[in-house]
Amino acid sequence: MSLIGLLENIPFFESFTNDEKLSFVQSEDLFVTLNPGEFLIREGPDPDNSFFIILEGQVTITKDSLPDTVLAILGAGAVLGEMTFLSGHPRSTHVIAEEGVTVFKVNQHTMNRLDAHLQVKMLRQLTDVLIGRLEKLTNDMVQQKRINETLTLALRGKILSSE
């Protein structure tokens, strides 16, 4: 599939016009291809503060503190590295290509090259991604609280019935 076709299928780019998407495609340095097993992001300090949007393929998310655990497998549309891009903080996980992967890559230098209105659109989209994650986290916390309350009641009932 063409790069413009890949962008068309990704929700992050829905608010961008065809001309804006075409301008991205004309900047070849915005696109990176990885082979299976290659690191897109390494946990820890990273002088490259880029964020990435997976256009095709899948990546595995791991963490040094949980060496035998895959935290997630993410595919097309996933946004990665935005926290380091926005804050400059060290990377919190490893991101490894599971298969051939194509990503859209933006660092501060490429962001500064974009027209002001495209910069605003990019930052607005990143904000929407972060809001969506915060909403999901809040919902997950509420669900976990309900599970904990149910387990507590069940354990209390079991303890009382065994006395």
The per-residue pLDDT of the chain, averaged, comes to 92
pLDDT at 160 over 70: no
DSSP string, 132-161: HHHHHHHHHHHHHHHHHHHHHHHHHHHHHH
**Percent of the chain beyond pLDDT 70?**
98
Which pLDDT belongs to residue 18? Answer: 92
The model's pLDDT over 44-98, given as tens digits with 9 standing for 90+, comes to: 998 889 999 999 999 999 999 998 899 999 999 999 999 999 999 999 999 999 9
The reported pTM is 0.86
The amino acid present at 152, given as its one-letter code, is: T
Question: E-assigned strands of 11-151?
Answer: 31-34, 39-41, 51-56, 59-62, 72-74, 79-80, 94-97, 101-106
Which pLDDT belongs to residue 143? Answer: 94
Buried b (16+ CB within 10 A) or exposed e, 67-88: eeeeeeebebebbbbbbbbeee
State which CATH number among 2.60.120.10, 1.10.3720.10, 3.40.50.300, 3.30.450.40 fits the domain covering 3-137.
2.60.120.10
User: Where along the chain do its domains lie?
Assistant: 3-137
Which pLDDT belongs to residue 28? Answer: 79
